[in-house]
Amino acid sequence: MRHEENGTAAAVEQALRDWLDRDPGGPLTEVHRWALHPPGKLLRPVLLLQSAAAVGGSCERVMPAAVGVELVHVASLLHDDILDDDRLRRGKPSGHVRFGPGAAVLGGDALMFALFEQVVECGRRGVPEAAVTRAVGTLARAGRRMAQGVARELDPVRAPDAVDGYLEMVRLKTSALLSACCEVGAVLGGGSPAQARALAGYGDALGVAFQIRDDLLPYGPQAGREGKPADSDLRNGRPSLPLLLAGPVSKDPEKVGRLLVETGALEESTRLARRYAERARRELDALPRGPHRAALHRTAEALTPEPWCPDGAG
């Protein structure tokens, strides 16, 4: 990523450290420190700040909300690792392995409530009360949609068995928060309703592209390097797009990799991810040209899988 995005992520990292220094979590503070360090890609707070800047807003005023969306994302990871029994996260033991499932659940709960405290802080920095109220509502709806998406993924009866069902699940589980981050950035940054809608659409499409890219990671050179273990979806029987497109598969990762190539599932998944990333970029046409719109464009490009190349698979 370019210097501008690196600078934004560095500012978020510092704000997260400042939040941890003030964290009144008591026995949960160590859970929070463990879960927040080292930081991940910081995609959600960076998107919120980029969206605010793209509509002419102040990143300094909306930074508390950017911290808040990273807190809620990390909370979801603490909970997901328990649901999936994933024992590693970002190269070290998951929160429930280190502190026990009870502390991990409560630590995640506390981070989720901290989100709203952070959004309210934007009002103290000069963001209008009406914008803060709208942002709180948008993020609350996104959280509910995230939970619905994960519940659908976990339910063997309602789990998707076709592409349309998969896309519906992903728009709940993954896109809901990304879309809310972009919309909230626009709202807190003083953007127009049309700009907020465009950025919400950008985040929605980007979320689908991002999730498909995540589904593809176990079968490429980055396997196991970006968060969860490479075999997590296969081991847990979770619906990922390549596995859905390939049909019934073995639990043997080596056999699965070959089958995904032979059936064209990896190629088709890559094509669909690229289509959604392009849809996200088109939503940016509603924003004024300039470096901040360009930054959002680059973020979409960074999350777009390369065109399919069989030599790089399996």
Residue 231: count of CB within 10 angstroms of its CB: 15
**Cβ distance 129 to 137 under 8 Å?**
no
Domain of 39 in residue numbering reads as 3-312
DSSP of 34-57:
HHHSS----HHHHHHHHHHHHTT-
Torsion of CA 117, 49, 52, 115, to 10 degrees: -20
Nearest to 185 by CA among 175, 171, 200, 173: 200
Q: What is the predicted pLDDT for the residue at 2?
A: 53
Overall number of domains in the chain: 1
Beta bridge partners of 93: 88
Q: What is the predicted pLDDT for the residue at 91?
A: 87
Residue 192: count of CB within 10 angstroms of its CB: 11
Q: What is the predicted pLDDT for the residue at 258?
A: 84
Residue 252: count of CB within 10 angstroms of its CB: 11
pTM: 0.91
Please give the structure tokens belonging to residue 79.
């909970």
Helix 59-84 crosses helix 43-54 at what angle (to 10 degrees)?
150
**Cβ distance 213 to 276 under 8 Å?**
no
Q: What is the predicted pLDDT for the residue at 37?
A: 92
Chunked into runs of 10 residues, the chain (314 residues) has average pLDDT values of 72 96 86 94 97 98 99 97 90 94 97 97 98 98 97 79 90 98 99 98 98 89 53 69 81 76 92 97 96 96 83 50
Q: What is the predicted pLDDT for the residue at 77?
A: 96
Q: What is the predicted pLDDT for the residue at 262?
A: 87
CA 140 to chain centre: 16
**Cβ distance 183 to 199 under 8 Å?**
yes
Supply the CATH number for residue 83's domain.
1.10.600.10
Q: What is the predicted pLDDT for the residue at 261?
A: 87
Please give the structure tokens belonging to residue 9.
């992520």
Q: What is the predicted pLDDT for the residue at 3?
A: 44
Please give the structure tokens belonging to residue 23.
């964290």
State the Cα–Cα distance between residues 99 and 29, nearest whole angstrom.
11
